[in-house]
Amino acid sequence: EDKVVQSPLSLVVHEGDTVTLNCSYEVTNFRSLLWYKQEKKAPTFLFMLTSSGIEKKSGRLSSILDKKELFSILNITATQTGDSAVYLCAVELGAGSYQLTFGKGTKLSVIP
Amino acid sequence: DAGVTQSPTHLIKTRGQHVTLRCSPISGHKSVSWYQQVLGQGPQFIFQYYEKEERGRGNFPDRFSARQFPNYSSELNVNALLLGDSALYLCASSLFGQGAGGYTFGSGTRLTVV
């Protein structure tokens, strides 16, 4: 059974802290790994990772994939209260049915 | 450009009723996927449609069905509603069957079954 596990499930930090969110996976037919931020309803796209060892960056956020050890991390530096959200990791499966298998998410709370 | 549009935004139904949820993908996107998100969990895959054909089905009972229309919009139908069907139903559109351009989610339909 395809599985995506995120840790921690929740995290409380102070503004300015740096956080690392973890995502490990065990799936057949891996195609890509995606990170989303969900504040209220619609998950918003952050990164898509397909190759090992290549860091993707967007402002204070960055992510990297390790296809040998089957995990990814999402880093957020200099956190702000606006970073408070649930961060979802999803693995896209290939081979005809391009579905996303999600983890349970990490709820990040940034306090002033 | 309009994003992914879902309707209605909220819905309250009684056990045993049926419901139809609607999704309009981003213009030019040919694939629509449906996900169910129960409170405190990640979204769970229900269906994917690409070019009006079902390309994938998740582990949901036959009470769940969907279709995609010639304009690429989609409907998700759920019959004989159960309390456990209460969830946020998300629609995601992508350019092709695979998410080469990423999957864009709508704001969802919050379904409450009482």
Encode chain B in three state secondary structure: CCCCEEECCEEEECCCCCEEEEEECCCCCCEEEEEEECCCCCCEEEEEEECCEEEEECCCCCCEEEEECCCCCEEEEECCCCHHHCEEEEEEEECCCCCCCCCEECCCEEEEEC
List the domain range (segments joined by +) for residue A27. Answer: 3-107
* CATH, residue B33: 2.60.40.10
Query: Which residues, in sequence order, are bridge partners of residue B19?
Result: B78
Q: Is residue B14 part of a domain?
A: yes
List the domain range (segments joined by +) for residue B55. Answer: 5-92
Q: Is residue A54 part of a domain?
A: yes
Task: Dump pLDDT digits (tens) for B1-34.
Answer: 579 999 999 999 999 999 999 999 999 899 999 9
* Residue B73 pLDDT exceeds 90: yes
The better pLDDT of the pair A41, A36 is held by A36
Q: Could you give the number of structural domains in chain B?
A: 1
Q: Which residues of B touch A97 (CB under 8 A)?
A: 48, 55-57
* CATH, residue A49: 2.60.40.10
Taking an 8 Å cut-off on Cβ atoms, the answer to whether A4 and B33 are in contact is no
Contact A12, A68 (CB under 8 A): no
Q: Is residue A101 part of a domain?
A: yes
Q: What's the gap in Å between the CA of A9 and the closest CA on chain B?
A: 10
Q: Could you give the number of structural domains in chain A?
A: 1
What is the distance, to the nearest Å, from the Cα of residue A33 to the centroid of all Cα atoms in its chain? 8
pLDDT at residue B114, rounded to an integer: 97
Q: Is residue B16 part of a domain?
A: yes
